[in-house]
Structure 1
Amino acid sequence: MIQSETLELLEWQRLCQHLATFAATKLGAIASRHLHPPATLAESLHLLAQTKEVYQLECQLTSGWTFEGIQDIGDALERAERQGILSGEDLLAIATTLAGVRRLRRLIDDQEDIPVLNQLVADIRTYPELEQEIHRCIDERGDVTDRASPKLAEIRQHSKSLRDRIYQTLQNIVQRQGGALQQPLITQRGDRFVLPVKAPQKDSVSGIVHDASSTGATLYIEPHAIVGLGNQLKTYQRREQAEAEAVRRVLTEQVAAVKPDLEQVLAVATRLDLATAKARYSLWLQANPPRFIDPNQRESITLRQLRHPLLVWQYQHEEDAPVVPITIQIQPQIKVVAITGPNTGGKTVTLKTLGLAALMAKVGLFVPAKEPVELPWFEQILADIGDEQSLEQSLSTFSGHIRRISRILEELENCRAPWRVSTDGGEDDLAQREPDTPHPTSALVLLDEIGAGTDPAEGSALAIALLNYLADHAQLTVATTHYGELKALKYQDERFENASVEFNDVTLSPTYRLLWGIPGRSNALTIAERLGLKSDVVSLAQTLVGGSSEDVNQVISGLEAQRRDQETKAQEANQLLQQTERLHQEVSSKAKLLQERERELKLSQEQAVQDAIAQAKAEIAQVIRKLQQGPQIAQNAKKATDALKEIEQRHIPKPPAKAKPAFQPKVGDRIRIPRLNQTAEVLTPADEDGELTVRFGLMKMTVSLADIESLEGQKAHIPVKSKPASTPAPAAASPPTPPIRTEKNTIDLRGSRVADAEVELEQAISKAIASGVLWIIHGKGTGKLRAGVHEFLERHPLVDRFELAKQAEGGSGVTVAYLK
């Protein structure tokens, strides 16, 4: 009873109505409107997994996730089981539903990493043979087709012949007796063909009068010439109906024979549609999936920027005020939160928002808050919110609250287990307690204006006693109050926490922001004075309140100011971080641009050198041809020699400047090891083999002089070692450094189409050319993306070879490409 009242108080039905608008089928909408929280954590986790997987499908599938053709065939299945004959429309709905569910199952089977949906559709049977038989016998309008029965086709052929004879006979009468007719047309009354005859000339067309116009000026007469044909046609029509009914009876019997399987198909379609509605509603809310925390692991409740879903709907559809989000972070030891602050400040909305967030997580909906969304799984969510005053039951506000709170306490007592069994099979410490020893149940209790509606002193005392009781018996209690005495509970018991709704002293209006750790201060006297109440009255009231209350208000005001200052500094730090990130992006872009320009300049220089060489060769060849063509005398040879020297001076570059003396590393010098991309310190001088000991970090190692350089890039001088007369064996080449996988040489193409993947792959190859290797994550799936990637790599000029990665690095879901 109290749980149903809680759903009503939290306006759960409104949220379900909003959810139903995202359903694709009638059954899905009905299931959404009647959505009830599950009874176990396992059910909630299963529902949440369904929503996550459908959400994933919605984002991945380019063809769309559609429920086209799926209809509510429940009543038709019931009639078939009771041996009623289904109509053509009912049979057609069954066929389209089977086709629609089969299409959904194929989409699910083609995807990976959706085990919950795969399990959901694994055992359903969609009977394609029944669907085909229905489509063979029933057309798109729901009528039985001629091909359904040879006898039916023959009957319809006879009926058509009779109808043609009737039309021909009537057409002849119309031509002969056109002046006696009101209009020259053939019509029907009931199932008989008639002519509209003018009443004064009814004797001109002998026959049976079946109807008359409202004025009596027109009589609808069936001529005697077609009465016999009409009777025969009616006989054939009855036979046609009987034969069509026989066809539908056979199909109905086939449906009744597999009714349990068809009901299972319908149930699966409904669950899929409900999960789809949850995913689409969550996407519309910009919500995130919750994680159920374990209270025994001392995890905190985290709901940052939490928005009330009904207010979001109201803002989006009714252009109401923007929704102010709240942040709820509750430490694991906290059992009771007392929220204080002015009226209309958002205290009640905070309770409803938290209650709805807990309910949404239980039914598998995402929660409209920023990640991470972490909250416990509450077995019960119990609330006392709003004014329960009732004139009919002679209940005051106080009496109404007390009755509901009593039912809440009874519900907690009924669900409290006397002991708990540990996971290792033995009883834990609770089993050793006395039976009456209290311990909290997995319940969330929401109390609005606790202790209100009666004498303040007694109401405050009652509220303190009640909150202490709930701290022992409920996992979490959140209560709103105006009583200042409740603010002090935090300093007496570590299980209590204070929170308040912020109030703007300048505008005399609430900001609807929730402040944690700071109790709300009384604003009644301030507001009264700002609104024009005589200062004498306000001053007298302040003296009656007492100085201690004013001191407390000043302390709270100071805390609020300090909090606002910290929030301002946090915003400034965040802005500075964003500016730094933008600057980093700009510097990175400029660096890439400079690298591109350097590459283009290098290519241009290489091309210029090639052109110069080609030109020099051409000039030399021309000189040689002239020398060969003329007389071979010394004068001509000297001219040729001078020409070659001139060509040499023009094209051969000037000798480079004399190189600087090589770097001589000394003990204590800082050097670089390019192949390891490390900076190290020299510990020992180089020995006769050209090796020295260096240290980088906590590691020492011996390296060759050929492997080091100075911090300015100078290569180390390698002394020439005297060689023996005999030819020494060549030194073994050091093994190449194995490539290291990083973010820069790794690309994730999962979920991409082959055409899009080729564009991304081209960009990744150009970026990874320096490292010489590229890891390509394409997933396993159907194998189409992997085949497309391999085909692209085979024809790419910069790819030397490629192979599938080792099993530890992804196996057949990852390809490693080695670049030239």
Structure 2
Amino acid sequence: MTPLGPAARGDYASNVLQETLELLEWPLLCEHLSSFACTPQGERVCRNLELPADFSTSQQRLLETLEIDLIDSSIEGGLNFDGVHEIRKTVERCHKGGVASGEELLFIAHTLASARRLRRQLDDPSLWPTIFALLEKLSTLPNLEKQLKYGLEEGGRVADRASSSLAGLRARRKLLQEERKSCLQALLKLYGGRLQDSLLAERNGRPVLSIRASASSEVSGLVHGRSSSGHTVFIEPQEVIPLGHRLADLELQIVDEERRLLTIWSQLVGENYFELSRLEEILLKIELALSRARYSKWLGGKSPKLYEHEDGQITLKGFRHPLLMWQNLKEQGIEVMPISIEVPSSLKVVAITGPNTGGKTVTIKSIGLAMLMAKSGLLIPCETSPSLPWCEMVLADIGDEQSIQQNLSTFSGHINRISRILDALNEQPVNALVLLDEVGAGTDPSEGSALARALLSTLADMARLTIATTHFGELKALKYSDSRFENASVAFDSETMSPTYQLLWGIPGRSNALAIAKRLGLKLDIIDQAQELLRLSGGLQVNKIISGLEEQRNRQQAAAEDAAALLARTELLHEELLSHWKQQSDRSAEIQQQARQELANSIREGQREVRKLISRLRADGADGETARQAGQKLRQLELEARSISQRRNQQWWRPEVGDRIKLLALGKSAQVVAISDDRTQVTVLCGVLRSTVPIEAIESLDGVRPTPTPQVLVKGGNRKASLNSSLLVRTSRNTVDVRGLRVHEAEAVIEEYIRGLSGCVWVIHGIGTGRLKRGLRQWLANVPYVERIGDAEPVDGGSGCTVIWLKSLTI
């Protein structure tokens, strides 16, 4: 297995990385991944999946996985790699002057045809830019494929059509074979009484008659052998021997001609060595991406957000261990319990405490495996999109390495492995994740605790993040003296004697040893004595404090759930109001349609009246009275038209998808391409720029403003609390999208949007080069009615979205 990637590594780093992969059971995950490959060579590469050596390669693999999944889902039956063969060895042999067999050359032709079919399915740079980039240098060599398929038949046999000489030789051979067969049939009748068997046999590639041994002297010919009993002699009759010689000579000529043709085709393959090698490499990359996508989809994976630098935090919500999922789904194992992990970027060391069998080891293994999956371009089985910092190395000391043969105790085994980890970090300082299981265990508790504290302090300076499990109480106090440390604990149900796989942050865990021992049936007097000793040593008081913290956390969790329920009810009320508003809007549209119909009818009626008046005035008997009556009628029609026009102008205007409108901030016309459900925001296309703006920021081309949409305001009672972005809710009404705009254009859109508003506004500008974000923040810092600005929460866009707190906040 060669999972370390192409980058050269030192011996310490290489050895300890390989050891870590074994401890995290990465080879088993790769074995599962290989079952989703399409070809034998794809399976082999999946089993030996290389870990990328740099951040850009990981990002590239992730984009390939996401795009190929969309392609595979959009094609009926999915992408098909039928006909793709491993051709590397054949191509190399032809390049060196060797001759390939007909079957090997036919495999090359089939691979070229399959590559061309796949290219047709994937060749769309607008939809699949990442996959298309892989295909840019792909050459399917149609002429070579045509020659090989023309000259070869199924099974690799050289076709008669490949050469007129070959066709002639094979025709002559067929005639001789027919002639020899007729001669042999006649000899069977002639020697019928001397035959042991009436069927023709074959010895050494020549046809023979089965003659009884007693009559063998009566048949002239060449003896090719006897039966095991000696009763039968196999004789090639003299009459067919010349025919056999001529056939043998023809066979040699045919073989030479076939060899000549195969040599020509092999030379053509050798001349295209670089194109064919590149083709196989590209096909393998696409197959690996497809295998990652199908495996990730089977896991129900979400695309991770990778941070290149150390300021990225770890967020895994509802992560399910993929190896346990395989056992559950493929082998009918137990249900996999999800775990949630969130480690801020400021932390360097996390100490996880809790009882044995509480899930500590599973937790650190899950973090390590999630890191390797994201690094390799796999999606991660979480409830929401995870975020992880990219780490060049993942190093682990998990499990027991005691050995009788090497005279190693449990403690010695841990120390040897940790020493290798430190040597690797010293030899090649990199951005690393270190996972330690039961750090300092296996020796005197006081000395082990001191050693663990010193080790974690050292790793805090050397590694990106260290996560360690422990039972030492002294390690729980490190967070109070060093801000880089944090405590976490795994929850355990002492009644059911099973872990809950819930990770509690900021609270050290209890061992629950006495509760577990009591549950397992240990004598009560021993339990009571142990509790008394624990009380005298102060440990019981510490457990009570921890228990109180856990209860407080549970109360806070219940309060958060109540708040979430209130928010859900508020959203339902909002949806109900929107539904009523939509009904009113539909009714207004119906009234508008009726008004337009009435106006059209009035216009037609007026036109008829005017035509009648003109006819009367043009009549021969028209006089002054006729003119006066016509004038009165015209004035009456004018007044009616003005009344209808006024009523029409009083109707409000509502934009629809496809309408041409005017952007007030830019003074430019645009087209409406989408409207939000609550009709408070519209997405417009202005040239090549696409932006989402509030409905108040547009008007029709004839200057009519849209009627404002009724809004639902949920009031709160604490202004200070509302300033905390974690207590505010982002909706489509307080969000503006300026991606794709220039800085000055975005400033105009935002200023038009926030004018007269209060509260918070979310501005989506994306990440990109960061120029738009920096320009907007420099401008916002000088806007007088902006109180402060900051990044949004990760679920609301993180660094790709800015939250604006306005000074005129009203609640």
Q: Determine if the alignment matches structure 1 residue 223 to structure 2 residue 213.
A: no
Alignment equivalent of 2:144, drawn from 118, 130, 149 = 130
Identify if the C-alpha distance between structure 1 residues 809 and 48 changes in structure 2 by more than 3 Å, giving closer, same or farther: closer
Larger Rg: 1
Aligned ranges 1:90-129 → 2 under 5 Å: 90-110=104-124, 112-129=126-143
Question: Which piece of structure 1 moves more, 571-580 or 488-497?
Answer: 571-580
Structure 1 residue 72, shift from structure 2 partner: 0.6
Q: Determine if the alignment matches structure 1 residue 411 to structure 2 residue 424.
A: yes
Alignment equivalent of 1:528, drawn from 517, 524, 534 = 517
Q: Distance in 1 between matches of 2:72 and 2:250?
A: 53
Question: Which piece of structure 1 moves more, 114-123 or 538-547?
Answer: 538-547
Structure 1 residue 252, shift from structure 2 partner: 0.5
Alignment equivalent of 1:333, drawn from 303, 323, 346 = 346
Identify if the C-alpha distance between structure 1 residues 226 and 592 changes in structure 2 by more than 3 Å, giving closer, same or farther: farther
Identify if the C-alpha distance between structure 1 residues 177 and 588 changes in structure 2 by more than 3 Å, giving closer, same or farther: farther
Partner of 1:10: 24
Q: Which amino acid aligns with 1:187?
A: A
Partner of 1:556: 546
Partner of 2:442: 453
1:32 alignment partner, SS class: helix
Structure 1 residue 450, shift from structure 2 partner: 0.5
Q: Distance in 2 between matches of 1:743 and 1:393?
A: 78
Q: Deviations over 1:94-138 (max 9, x none)?
A: 111111112111211146332121111101211110111001111
Report % sequence identity. Answer: 45
Q: Determine if the alignment matches structure 1 residue 357 to structure 2 residue 370.
A: yes
Q: Distance in 1 between matches of 2:570 and 2:179?
A: 92
Structure 1 residue 188, shift from structure 2 partner: 2.2
Q: Which amino acid aligns with 2:421?
A: I
Identify if the C-alpha distance between structure 1 residues 575 and 228 changes in structure 2 by more than 3 Å, giving closer, same or farther: farther
Identify if the C-alpha distance between structure 1 residues 216 and 578 changes in structure 2 by more than 3 Å, giving closer, same or farther: farther
Partner of 2:489: 500
Structure 1 residue 536, shift from structure 2 partner: 2.8
Q: Deviations over 1:489-523 (max 9, x none)?
A: 12222221111111112123322332222211121
Q: Which amino acid aligns with 1:306?
A: F
Question: Which piece of structure 1 moves more, 101-110 or 302-311?
Answer: 101-110
Q: Distance in 1 between matches of 2:325 and 2:109?
A: 40
Partner of 1:431: none
Structure 1 residue 265, shift from structure 2 partner: 0.6
Aligned ranges 1:315-326 → 2 under 5 Å: 315-326=328-339
Q: Which amino acid aligns with 2:396?
A: A
Aligned ranges 1:297-696 → 2 under 5 Å: 299-416=312-429, 442-547=431-536, 548-564=538-554, 567=557
Question: Which piece of structure 1 moves more, 141-150 or 509-518?
Answer: 509-518
Q: Distance in 2 between matches of 1:309 and 1:90?
A: 39
Q: Distance in 1 between matches of 2:348 and 2:739?
A: 46
Do the aligned partners of 2:401 and 2:410 also contact (CA within 8 Å) in 1?
yes
Q: Distance in 1 between matches of 2:232 and 2:683?
A: 89
Question: Which piece of structure 1 moves more, 502-511 or 33-42?
Answer: 502-511
1:499 alignment partner, SS class: strand
Q: Which amino acid aligns with 1:190?
A: N
1:382 alignment partner, SS class: strand
- Structure 1 segments, 4+ long, off by >4 Å, are 564-597, 723-739, 741-745, 774-777
1:520 alignment partner, SS class: coil
Identify if the C-alpha distance between structure 1 residues 504 and 209 changes in structure 2 by more than 3 Å, giving closer, same or farther: same
Partner of 1:176: 190
Do the aligned partners of 1:180 and 1:201 also contact (CA within 8 Å) in 2?
yes
Do the aligned partners of 1:55 and 1:276 also contact (CA within 8 Å) in 2?
yes
Q: Determine if the alignment matches structure 1 residue 740 to structure 2 residue 655.
A: yes
1:371 alignment partner, SS class: coil
Do the aligned partners of 1:522 and 1:553 also contact (CA within 8 Å) in 2?
no
Q: Deviations over 1:710-751 (max 9, x none)?
A: xxxxxxxxxxxxx99998998688889665257999xxxxxx
Q: Which amino acid aligns with 2:17?
A: Q
Q: Distance in 2 between matches of 1:161 and 1:592?
A: 88
Residue ranges of structure 1 left out of the alignment (5+ in a row): 417-440, 601-722, 746-763, 781-807, 811-820
Q: Determine if the alignment matches structure 1 residue 46 to structure 2 residue 60.
A: yes
Identify if the C-alpha distance between structure 1 residues 340 and 210 changes in structure 2 by more than 3 Å, giving closer, same or farther: same
Identify if the C-alpha distance between structure 1 residues 236 and 725 changes in structure 2 by more than 3 Å, giving closer, same or farther: closer
Do the aligned partners of 2:124 and 2:132 also contact (CA within 8 Å) in 1?
no
Q: Distance in 1 between matches of 2:585 and 2:127?
A: 41
1:27 alignment partner, SS class: helix
Q: Deviations over 1:539-585 (max 9, x none)?
A: 33233334521112122223334444555666677778889989999
Q: Deviations over 1:739-795 (max 9, x none)?
A: 5257999xxxxxxxxxxxxxxxxxx99x99xx9xx9999xx9xxxxxxxxxxxxxxx
Question: Which piece of structure 1 moves more, 585-594 or 398-407?
Answer: 585-594
Q: Distance in 2 between matches of 1:188 and 1:363?
A: 60
Partner of 2:626: none
2:228 alignment partner, SS class: coil
Q: Determine if the alignment matches structure 1 residue 76 to structure 2 residue 90.
A: yes
Identify if the C-alpha distance between structure 1 residues 453 and 775 changes in structure 2 by more than 3 Å, giving closer, same or farther: closer
Q: Which amino acid aligns with 1:554?
A: K
Q: Distance in 2 between matches of 1:480 and 1:159?
A: 80
Partner of 1:246: 260
Q: Deviations over 1:11-50 (max 9, x none)?
A: 1111111111111112211211111211111111111111
TM-score (norm 1): 0.68
Q: Distance in 1 between matches of 2:585 and 2:215?
A: 104
Q: Distance in 2 between matches of 1:346 and 1:412?
A: 28
1:185 alignment partner, SS class: strand
CA RMSD of aligned residues (A): 3.9
Identify if the C-alpha distance between structure 1 residues 293 and 82 changes in structure 2 by more than 3 Å, giving closer, same or farther: closer
Do the aligned partners of 1:307 and 1:326 also contact (CA within 8 Å) in 2?
yes
Structure 1 residue 198, shift from structure 2 partner: 3.4
Q: Which amino acid aligns with 2:132?
A: N
Identify if the C-alpha distance between structure 1 residues 169 and 576 changes in structure 2 by more than 3 Å, giving closer, same or farther: farther
Do the aligned partners of 2:309 and 2:390 also contact (CA within 8 Å) in 1?
no
Q: Distance in 1 between matches of 2:407 and 2:467?
A: 29
Q: Which amino acid aligns with 1:202?
A: S
Question: Which piece of structure 1 moves more, 239-248 or 315-324?
Answer: 315-324
Structure 1 residue 534, shift from structure 2 partner: 2.7
Do the aligned partners of 1:741 and 1:775 also contact (CA within 8 Å) in 2?
no
Do the aligned partners of 1:324 and 1:513 also contact (CA within 8 Å) in 2?
no
Do the aligned partners of 2:101 and 2:262 also contact (CA within 8 Å) in 1?
yes
Q: Distance in 2 between matches of 1:76 and 1:61?
A: 32
2:401 alignment partner, SS class: coil
Q: Which amino acid aligns with 1:325?
A: P
Identify if the C-alpha distance between structure 1 residues 166 and 549 changes in structure 2 by more than 3 Å, giving closer, same or farther: same
Residue ranges of structure 2 left out of the alignment (5+ in a row): 1-14, 591-633, 661-672, 689-737, 741-811
Identify if the C-alpha distance between structure 1 residues 313 and 503 changes in structure 2 by more than 3 Å, giving closer, same or farther: same
Identify if the C-alpha distance between structure 1 residues 206 and 567 changes in structure 2 by more than 3 Å, giving closer, same or farther: farther
Q: Distance in 1 between matches of 2:72 and 2:177?
A: 54
2:209 alignment partner, SS class: strand
Structure 1 residue 809, shift from structure 2 partner: 13
Aligned ranges 1:250-289 → 2 under 5 Å: 250-289=264-303
Q: Distance in 1 between matches of 2:498 and 2:432?
A: 34
Identify if the C-alpha distance between structure 1 residues 494 and 809 changes in structure 2 by more than 3 Å, giving closer, same or farther: closer
1:338 alignment partner, SS class: strand
